[in-house]
Amino acid sequence: MTGRLLVTYQLRCTAAEAPARARALAVEQSVEMPPEAIADDALRARVLGRVESIEPDPQGPGLQRATLSLSANTVGDDPAQLLNMLFGNCALQPDVALVDAHLPDTLVDALPGPRFGIDGWRAAIGPTAAGRPLSCTALKPQGMPPEDLARLAYAFARAGIDVIKDDHGIADQPAAPFDRRVPAVQAAVERANREKAGLGDPALAGHRTVYAPHVNGAPARLERQLALVRDEGVGAVLACPMLIGAGAFAGLVRERAGVPVMAHPAFAGGRISPALLLGRLWRLFGADATIFPNWGGRFAFGRDECLAIADAAREPLGRHLPALPVPAGGMRVERCGEMLDAFGPATMLLIGGDLLAAGPAMPARAAAFASALRAARTAGGAFPADRGSAAA
Amino acid sequence: MTGRLLVTYQLRCTAAEAPARARALAVEQSVEMPPEAIADDALRARVLGRVESIEPDPQGPGLQRATLSLSANTVGDDPAQLLNMLFGNCALQPDVALVDAHLPDTLVDALPGPRFGIDGWRAAIGPTAAGRPLSCTALKPQGMPPEDLARLAYAFARAGIDVIKDDHGIADQPAAPFDRRVPAVQAAVERANREKAGLGDPALAGHRTVYAPHVNGAPARLERQLALVRDEGVGAVLACPMLIGAGAFAGLVRERAGVPVMAHPAFAGGRISPALLLGRLWRLFGADATIFPNWGGRFAFGRDECLAIADAAREPLGRHLPALPVPAGGMRVERCGEMLDAFGPATMLLIGGDLLAAGPAMPARAAAFASALRAARTAGGAFPADRGSAAA
């Protein structure tokens, strides 16, 4: 592994304090000992973090922006160790936030990246998905038995929803254990897919709804879940990298699912730029799609932050495929046009509660959502070009 | 799984806004959909989070404290899913912090807890460790080759240090790959242990220094590392639960290391009370010792927070053994007395950089640190009784 990472931190201190604070941070995130106590000069030069630049932070007075460089050799090729080097100890220092990180080409190349990417999602859904935005909804609430979740999934699939994911709160609990829930839901989705093929509706001819169950837990449990996903022919999986760990996400879910992987941001708060964490890093760790709370919903992410996540998921990044941005978190069907104007067609829109809130009208509302996104393919100039994507 | 979790959150809002904010949080952390859209009344009553109480937060105006109850059935028995229910989506809402969580007995009982506990550490070190505080230091900086790390470990072990851990930045990098580093360091520590047995120094008779290498990475890599730990007869391991994931920590490291496990707080910042996360939860997930940044060092934790972590690590907790609190993070040998006065003898003091900064005098300084803690056994009344511990 050659080269150095360029890592930008926001420091809460005055401009006068910034050089000393940045030097202390460079020590903390590399050798974690007094540099003068390192007897080997060559070792110190190689491993000690360096302060490359300091400037005022545009976010406000009392904030500075320091860019450090770290040796790629301190990371090796491991996602968990990358997070350790970027934000291990300084996660415990509330005056530090992680703004951005540029990895050297060798490290970018060594990380797994998406296995299926945006085209992989579209291929799984079938020819009707080519070049258009995708619809996604969620099975919820947790606490429902497998047969009720399967009934709900059937209704969504018949309505033409592209991807149905488990609510991230549904894991492997007594109400709907993974090994009973997943076969039941998958069978229901397959039945709906067969029925759509016979409807004679050209908009749904060949349309395959894909189910993404939530895999969660310790590695042994994840392995059992992933084996079931493969055995049942399930089309995708959902995982929370911060709950299962970056290593399990990259090394287990991405490696063994055999289908596109959707990352969920649960437990991913903290002082790391969402574009870096949910966009670039999770894509490098193997996410084929990344869910994030869009602006104007139940979460505090702003418009620029959300667009930056989408950019990081789709922009050129070494040898890696682009990942689908998935804005979510309290979205409504009425906002689809606005979201597509902002994010472009290489996007998956996730709307959950708003469909369920329709009660008996849920199937019609789900069908309206799904068909709006199918129609968006032909809208052409109504959307801006995909932001930074070669895979639109 | 029966009963309900009682989870206390800090909300940044006015007292007038608090009831609605708390209700929204109860929805977010349970059903994550409009409750009125749940047709099944019994399901709603069972699974929807409930607001149990709201009161002003003593930390300041504009802050409220809301206690919610969540069904233990929504957790099952899984550490990762427990974190999901406690702080999954609301980790993305910056107006919410997680203050405390009391788990029902069934859930406490279902979680693994420490396998060795405080007595297990003392037993590993030998009879000289009975009833006294333990000394710990770190191999650093990363970037050193295995033979230099082994030389350093030998010097620490000869000085009578009880536990030598890898710096948490040392993982499985090219400079010192795990499978070359760990056998070399372990052999050096064993050589020192044999030599101490022949010194005729009663203070070191039977004293075994224990090496705790850092295991990190994806599950397959962790399994290889843990197999090597067992094959080489290594006495302990160090892991970062937030880097490898709570599931891998509880289900892989705790289950397969076969030796006491030390938890490191890297990447564990955020808005979760340190006493809850580093104390109670990591103990429940299997930590036999928990490292935290002590007050007066390079981190911002206050004295009360640190004492609360130690309480959570050692207080009665169902069937579970107590875990060792390990204050650290820029401590100096001169502060040992003060730290022991505060934490009592069922504590491990971790001092790293301050020993290395002594340069050629390092062995003498390490010996002074180690012997001060061995002597503390006989100081008797000089320490307060272990805070809340039956295992002192």
Comparing CB atoms, the residue among B37, B88, B219 nearest residue A359 is: B37
The strand pairing partners of A8, in sequence order, are A67, A100
Provide the 8-state DSSP code for B260: -
Q: Percentage of chain B surpassing pLDDT 70? A: 96
Among B294, B319, B321, CA closest to B307: B294
Measured in whole angstroms, the distance separating CA A152 from the mean position of its chain's CA atoms is: 25
Q: How far is A84 from chain B (nearest CA, A)?
A: 7
Provide the 8-state DSSP code for B67: E
Provide the 8-state DSSP code for B135: E
Provide the 8-state DSSP code for B335: G
Task: For A231-278, write each residue's pLDDT tens digit.
Answer: 999 999 999 999 999 999 999 999 999 999 999 999 998 899 999 999
Q: How far is A299 from chain B (nearest CA, A)?
A: 6
Question: Over 50: is that where the pLDDT of A383 sits?
Answer: no
Burial grade of A382 (CB within 10 A; 0-12, 13-18, 19 or more): exposed
**CA–CA gap between residue A252 and residue A146 (Å, rounded):** 26
Which residues in chain B are contacts of A72 at CB distance < 8 A?
none
Yes or no, beta carbons of A248 and B247 under 8 Å apart: yes
**CA–CA gap between residue B213 and residue B172 (Å, rounded):** 10
Per DSSP, the residues of A297-346 read: SSS---HHHHHHHHHHHHS--TTPPP-EEEEESS--GGGHHHHHHHH-SS
Chain B interface test: which of A10, A40, A74 (most B C-beta within 10 Å):
A74
Chain A interface test: which of B23, B242, B350 (most A C-beta within 10 Å):
B242
- Give the count of beta carbons closer than 10 Å to the beta carbon of residue A183: 16
Yes or no, beta carbons of B173 and A293 under 8 Å apart: no
Q: State the average pLDDT over residues B245-274.
A: 96
The strand pairing partners of B272, in sequence order, are B98
The tally of CA atoms less than 13 A away on the side-chain side of residue B20 is 4
Per DSSP, the residues of A52-113 read: EEEEE-TT-TTEEEEEEEEEGGGTTT-HHHHHHHHHSGGGG-TTEEEEEEE--HHHHHHS--
Q: How far is B383 from chain A (nearest CA, A)?
A: 29
Q: Is the peptide bond before B274 cis (omega within 30 degrees of 0)?
A: no
Question: Over 90: is that where the pLDDT of B57 sits?
Answer: yes
Which residues in chain A are contacts of B94 at CB distance < 8 A?
269, 300
Task: For A355-380, write each residue's pLDDT tens digit.
Answer: 999 999 999 999 999 999 999 865 44
Chain A interface test: which of B86, B181, B267, B355 (most A C-beta within 10 Å):
B267
Cβ contact B49:B68 at 8 Å: yes
Comparing CB atoms, the residue among A1, A40, A81 nearest residue B216 is: A81
Which residues in chain B are contacts of A73 at CB distance < 8 A?
143, 173-175
Comparing CB atoms, the residue among A78, A142, A298 nearest residue B217 is: A78
Given pLDDT bands bounded at 50, 70 and 90, which one contains residue B385?
very low
Which residues in chain A are contacts of B76 at CB distance < 8 A?
171-174
Q: What dihedral do alpha carbons B34, B40, B42, B48 form, nearest 10°?
A: -20
Q: How far is A89 from chain B (nearest CA, A)?
A: 5
Helix (H, G, I), strand (E, B) or coil at A140: coil
Among A270, A279, A230, CA closest to A253: A230
Per DSSP, the residues of A114-126 read: -SSHHHHHHHHH-
Task: For B279-300, write each residue's pLDDT tens digit.
Answer: 999 999 999 999 999 999 988 8
Per DSSP, the residues of B15-29 read: TTTHHHHHHHHHHHT
Yes or no, beta carbons of A357 and B34 under 8 Å apart: yes
The model's pTM: 0.95
Per DSSP, the residues of A202-234 read: GGGTT---EEEPBP-SSHHHHHHHHHHHHHTT-
Return the residue matching tokens 């837990």.
Answer: A217
Q: What is the per-residue pLDDT for B381?
A: 38
Given pLDDT bands bounded at 50, 70 and 90, which one contains residue A97?
very high
Q: State the average pLDDT over residues B133-155.
A: 97
Per the model's pLDDT, the better-predicted residue between B345 and A381 turns out to be B345
**CA–CA gap between residue B238 and residue B215 (Å, rounded):** 6
- Give the count of beta carbons closer than 10 Å to the beta carbon of residue B52: 15
Comparing CB atoms, the residue among B80, B142, B143 nearest residue A217 is: B80
Question: Over 80: is that where the pLDDT of A382 sits?
Answer: no
Q: Which domains does chain B have, with CATH numbers?
A: 4-110 (3.30.70.150), 117-382 (3.20.20.110)
Question: Over 50: is that where the pLDDT of B32 sits?
Answer: yes
Q: Percentage of chain A surpassing pLDDT 70? A: 96
Residue of chain A whose Cα is closest to the Cα of B142: A31
Task: For A106-163, write each residue's pLDDT tens digit.
Answer: 999 999 999 999 999 999 999 999 999 999 999 999 999 999 999 999 999 999 999 9
**CA–CA gap between residue B361 and residue B365 (Å, rounded):** 6
**CA–CA gap between residue A238 and residue A291 (Å, rounded):** 10
Yes or no, beta carbons of B250 and A218 under 8 Å apart: yes
Chain A interface test: which of B32, B73, B168, B271 (most A C-beta within 10 Å):
B32
- Give the count of beta carbons closer than 10 Å to the beta carbon of residue B360: 7
Q: What is the per-residue pLDDT for A270?
A: 83
Comparing CB atoms, the residue among A219, A298, A359 nearest residue B248 is: A219
Yes or no, beta carbons of A240 and B1 under 8 Å apart: no
Cβ contact A264:A291 at 8 Å: yes
Q: Percentage of chain A surpassing pLDDT 90? A: 90
Q: How far is B222 from chain A (nearest CA, A)?
A: 9
Yes or no, beta carbons of B216 and A353 under 8 Å apart: no
Cβ contact A322:A367 at 8 Å: no
Yes or no, beta carbons of A32 and B91 under 8 Å apart: no
Task: For A279-334, write each residue's pLDDT tens digit.
Answer: 999 999 999 999 999 999 988 899 999 999 999 999 999 999 999 999 999 999 99
Q: How far is B92 from chain A (nearest CA, A)?
A: 5
Q: What is the per-residue pLDDT for B200?
A: 87
**CA–CA gap between residue B332 and residue B349 (Å, rounded):** 10
Comparing CB atoms, the residue among B30, B92, B252 nearest residue A268 is: B92
Question: Over 70: is that where the pLDDT of B129 sits?
Answer: yes
Q: What is the per-residue pLDDT for A188?
A: 98
Q: What is the per-residue pLDDT for A299?
A: 86
The pair of three-digit structure tokens given for residue B219, joined into one six-digit string? 């599950």
Q: What's the whole-number average pLDDT of chain A?
A: 94
Helix (H, G, I), strand (E, B) or coil at B273: coil
Go through B250-283 and write b for each residue having 16 or more CB atoms within 10 A of its CB, e for each that does not. bbbbbbbbebbbbbbbbbbbbbbbbbbbbbbbbb
Measured in whole angstroms, the distance separating CA B182 from the mean position of its chain's CA atoms is: 22
Chain B interface test: which of A11, A41, A81, A111 (most B C-beta within 10 Å):
A81
Q: What is the per-residue pLDDT for B76?
A: 86
Task: For B9-31, write each residue's pLDDT tens digit.
Answer: 999 999 999 999 999 999 999 99
